[in-house]
Amino acid sequence: MRVCVCTVVHHPEDARILHRQIRALLDAGHEVTYIAPFRATNSTPWREVSPVDVPRATGRRRLHALRAAHRALAEHAGYADVVLLHDPELLVGLPRAVRRKATVVWDVHEDTAAALTAKGWLPAPLAPLLRPFVRRLEKRAERRHHLLLAEEGYRDRFRLPHPVVPNTTYVAEDAPAAPDDRRVVYVGHLSAARGALDMIETARLVAAEGVLVELIGSADPEIRQALRDAQLEGVLRWYGFVPNDRALRIAEGAMAGLALLHDEPNYRHSMPTKVVEYMARGIPVITTPNPPAVAIVEPSGCGKVVPFTDPMAVAAAIRQLRADPELRTAMGERGHATARARFHWPTQAIPFVHQLEQWAAGATGVAEPQPAPAAGVATDVATKLNGAADAGSPIPPGSGLQGAPDAGLGGAAGLDPATPAGSPGPSRRPA
């Protein structure tokens, strides 16, 4: 099967798109063309994919990127059995040639209409005006295309049943190292609605006690200066964007992982993936009372729940964990065991690939769940697919985007994530 994956909004190393879905397709022996903003993010494509570079849609500057993506899709859809779209914006004005030549699938990452209130670049008065348009777009997409949902809670937005591909993660069989008493981490994009300012204030509250808060992820423009100022004060370390696999290696061993989402409509039925990622790495979780997070953390006993927008409560939870090594070790172990049993991505990878194969073959409906694979199901297909990126790739070798050496972290600490230092990512996917 030949799959054309496209995003202009997400980073090319997005965990769901690249590290889970594309990796699963490659492991199953399928060919992948990946249309994404490689140059705009200084990202190195994996050699196993055929990369196509497009501009990135950021803030209110989106039209140029969307037009470029539509041109790329029209060009490459003729070679694809499935076109997998990750941005709702791509559905607007999707070329008819794409719909005629390939099976189109929209991967629904979020409650698009509810998320409008959390878009810092969107003027607040426009959100209620755009919401009906977004809902109409979703209904039209359901009539014309196949849908994958990232959350069970998204089912109510649609008339028909659609398969759910949840945001889980890779969980090692062996338990990770016990949490330390020095670091608190956050992995993910930084925005006001995701609690970035609360984390900065928390860092100020615990810095004098020898606790370092490490924030690993890109940030909204309106948050970046506050992060730089806090880093200059010495109260936190901000890495900027780091590819997901390496970001989690940095986080491993931390005393706690933060998930301080605000009480936004889009978050009330969306499981924060970072909660599961912390659990998989044996890191105790400190989360706000987002219902899906509470439903995982409290029954498993793997962390603490704190009120929304309350840095004092977050600091108190950190102090409690620091003072009790047995508590944080037990929380880390319980979290890892729960993640291994319930949230190991290879359990979802097989039905995800099977569903796309069914749709490519012209079958309708939702694929039946497949048996969970054994741990380590992901195998290295580099030898088989190593030449894919050079065969007709619109990004030629020697352009700086093919096979660039791995330069360690994805971005220097505190730099603007749009212009990280060095080469930001591996040219070959992890085994």
Shared fold status for 2-167+345-390 and 183-342: yes
CA distance 371 to 373: 6
CA distance 305 to 283: 14
Q: Which of 7-11, 191-195, 371-375, 405-409 has the lowest mean pLDDT?
A: 405-409
Question: Which numeric CATH code is attached to 2-167+345-390?
Answer: 3.40.50.2000
Average pLDDT, the chain: 84
pLDDT tens, position by position, 169-202: 999 999 898 999 999 999 999 999 999 999 999 9
CA distance 201 to 29: 47
Specify the pairing of strand 256-259 against strand 31-36. Answer: unpaired
What class, spelled out in words, does domain 183-342 have in CATH?
A: alpha beta
CA distance 3 to 107: 13
The pLDDT of 306-316, averaged and rounded, is 98
CA distance 403 to 300: 42
pLDDT tens, position by position, 115-140: 555 555 566 676 676 777 778 888 88
The torsion angles phi and psi of 224, rounded to 5 degrees, stand at -60, -40
Query: For position 235, what pLDDT does the model report?
Result: 97
Q: Where are the domains of the chain?
A: 2-167+345-390, 183-342
Q: How far is CA 184 from the centre of its chain?
A: 20
Distances (CA, A) of 49 to 1, 287, 429, 431: 13, 36, 10, 15
pLDDT tens, position by position, 85-114: 999 989 988 888 888 888 999 999 886 655
